Structure 1
Amino acid sequence: MAKYLILIYEDEASWANAGPEDYERAMKEHTAFGENNRDVLRGGEALHPGSMGTSVRKDASGDFVVTDGAFFETKEGLGGYYLIEVDDLDQAIAVAKQVPAPYGGVEVRPVMVFS
């Protein structure tokens, strides 16, 4: 079995303008996703918008620079993730196709195993 992270990227501005019915529908869809895939799910969470993040980077002198916000300014931000455990990439993609992401899409990335 292999672990994969399904990263959910969506247009944060669309969610900022969404109404209560959009949030309710998303919660129902994610709940259904979780129920339908409970055998392979190992975790997952929603994330606050990138503007709520704090970036920590080393500058050229080796000092740390701490700034508000995400590392990158993009149209789509990382909004959440699911950790799954399946046999292979094909199964991971099949699960990823079920993830609700009305304002964007998802990325499937294998989890590195160190032994």
Structure 2
Amino acid sequence: MHESASALLLLAALVASVAGMGWLALSMPVHAQQVWSAPLAAPARRALKVAGAVALAVALGLCLAVDHATMASLVWVMGLTAAAASVAMTLAWRPRWLRLLVPWMRSGPTRP
């Protein structure tokens, strides 16, 4: 595989990690409250949890496509760490920016 293709796959893995961590964070009532000033309904929370888990699995798959399993798992965990830290800092500094991860919720959540 070419180096540029590997770099793009790793970038895609990092983007998937950030999206996954963001969706998992937004599935928590306290963080949804921070972002929308209202908690999410149970079906929306479940959908975000599933989307977050799938995104993290996709990130692992992308890392495995680039390198052997031991190195890929290390890179994946480092990407998860960076993604979790960036989502945490976004929640602390500008929580409403996480709305970009859920463009289908333009008007905000419905009451649970």
TM-score where L is the length of structure 2: 0.31
Q: Which structure exhibits the higher relative contact order, with contacts defined as CA atoms closer than 8 Å and separated by 6 or more residues?
A: 1
Say which one has the larger Rg.
1
TM-score where L is the length of structure 1: 0.31
**Higher share in strand:** 1
